[in-house]
Structure 1
């Protein structure tokens, strides 16, 4: 039965397709952007409660409640980012404007977390962190960009690479922040580290990505 016949794709073909994705300036920009955006996510998941306890002297119970505030703002920002992107798409018909505008504006807003290094008022610290995660939510449109750019034949593979870069950030970020805090005895450098990642995400989408369009795969030897 031909319908039940499974066609095995040689590894050389898959590797050739991966090289095409990694050889695309646009896709590299998207992957780097995802790495940097996830750095913000993993800071809040892993180190933010510790920051509140160690650097700001909150009790563990209070830190638990306070840490939920940016998360709620991130949830709202995530929904709002999608709404803004769709609205811009309807108004302009431009993928570049519709996708890049929320990402760039969201990441720039996320950089306000660095201001926490210069204030000691508790509500201001919470406010800056909430704004940062709200901005991250608005800018977290990576999967929308993937849907617009991934070759239809290997959309799963392209999404897998996208996830891989994001998960590498999940490995590197907590370790890097721990090293910075351990060697300096302060979270100041850690917040700058995360803020710089937001800036790199902005530059990645503005400089590397270029026009957002679907990649057309070239034939690979062995297909």
Structure 2
């Protein structure tokens, strides 16, 4: 199918002038994606920040908290495929605005919870309603950025899942301590409603954006960006199922699941680990909790930068995109070392290195953008993200039950280290060369 280019855009004066300077609206779009992703993860992790307070107030034990932590991923993981379809059909503008608004309303309901059932139900709702977000991110980046910039652009918005906690954890801890844990959910919920409205008015796809000139559109297209409006293929489940038969898709699914186990630990049980297993004061927690997240932020940015750098220097796209995945998942397994050190400073150093490596391996989103069929970018993102977020179901429940029966994090951390090595195996030996999948 051919791209349909609006006539006004093809005859614009800027397109006729060889010296026309391209606009850089795509970097404004990237800033929007980053802000939306920050809020996305703040609304996932705000429960972890409030957990020490609300668990005491509502009388919830570790096994119950593990189930509540897992509730988000229980619906999020299985809604990602429909969420990807929604992103493909409605486009990033409508899909993201809808998701932001509705999950923020569900976030607000947590502030009214009076026990296990309401908290569990609210987390189920948030998981389902956030599902179009990352497929919409992947779709937007694939449309707005040429191949040589796509790895770094992907890394920038993915940093949102790491920098939200160090940026806002102190504020949210202060709110929970001084104004009660319910204020955490009210604050983040109302913030999301405002951002949903802003997204709707500010985001457009490339050919629809009034501030993107023809020179920028041509630059993106020439570099491999899928800027065009295409006639939409009718969705067929047969093709969605066929997607799962491709080796690169399955290998990335396994690798993302393994790598995401580390992220889930940090977004659920990390605060509890510092307070209860390491007996740190709230002042220490406030200082130390930010360091692993800053490490992960550095990891994803460096991975994206060097991946694009090596592509521009003539290295194969496969090698440049796969190297961070393998290196990151191997190094992330270093989390097991915290079981053998006593010093709080060394513990945080080890956790920072492990989370840095997890950030490096999170550049798998760029690999997804490279292999996804043109008409199923959102769907491919949804399928691979579903696999990653199965870890959000298994990891918090597993840790919760281990703590309930042993009272220690020892075996939980050892298991996560082993899972990371399985991810490294998948990226090293199962993935194979990366290529754009063509589906009839």
Common fold: TM-score over 0.5: yes
- Aligned equivalents of 1:88 and 1:201: distance in 2? 23
Could you tell me the TM-score, scaled by structure 2's length? 0.46
- Aligned equivalents of 1:49 and 1:186: distance in 2? 14
Give the match's secondary structure for 1:58.
Answer: coil
Q: Is contact 1:49–1:64 with CA below 8 Å preserved after alignment?
A: no
The structure 1 residue matched to 2:351, chosen from 129, 147, 164, is: 129
- Aligned equivalents of 2:232 and 2:306: distance in 1? 42
The reply to whether residue 204 of structure 1 matches residue 429 of structure 2 is: no
Equivalent residue runs for 1:92-171 within 5 Å: 92-171=314-393
How many residues are treated as equivalent by the alignment?
Answer: 211
Shift of 1:96: 2.4
Match of 1:41?
263
Match of 1:54?
276
Shift of 1:85: 1.0
- Aligned equivalents of 2:314 and 2:273: distance in 1? 42
Deviating above 6 A after TM superposition, structure 1's stretches of 4 or more consecutive aligned residues are none
Give the match's secondary structure for 1:215.
Answer: coil
Give the match's secondary structure for 1:158.
Answer: helix
Relative contact order: is structure 1 or structure 2 higher (C-alpha 8 Å, sep ≥ 6)? Answer: 1
Match of 1:90?
312
Match of 2:165?
none
Match of 2:287?
65
Could you tell me the TM-score, scaled by structure 1's length? 0.88
Structure 1 residues 175 and 64: alpha-carbon distance in aligned structure 2, compared to 1, 3 A threshold: farther
CA RMSD of aligned residues (A): 1.9
Shift of 1:7: 7.0
- Aligned equivalents of 2:403 and 2:321: distance in 1? 35
- Aligned equivalents of 2:303 and 2:420: distance in 1? 16
Match of 1:9?
234
The reply to whether residue 21 of structure 1 matches residue 243 of structure 2 is: yes
- Aligned equivalents of 1:202 and 1:74: distance in 2? 18
Give unpaired runs (5+ residues) of structure 1. Answer: none
Match of 1:216?
438
Q: Deviations over 1:13-33 (max 9, x none)?
A: 2x2112211111210111111
Give the match's secondary structure for 1:57.
Answer: coil
- Aligned equivalents of 2:346 and 2:427: distance in 1? 30
Q: Is contact 1:112–1:128 with CA below 8 Å preserved after alignment?
A: yes
Structure 1 residues 141 and 118: alpha-carbon distance in aligned structure 2, compared to 1, 3 A threshold: same
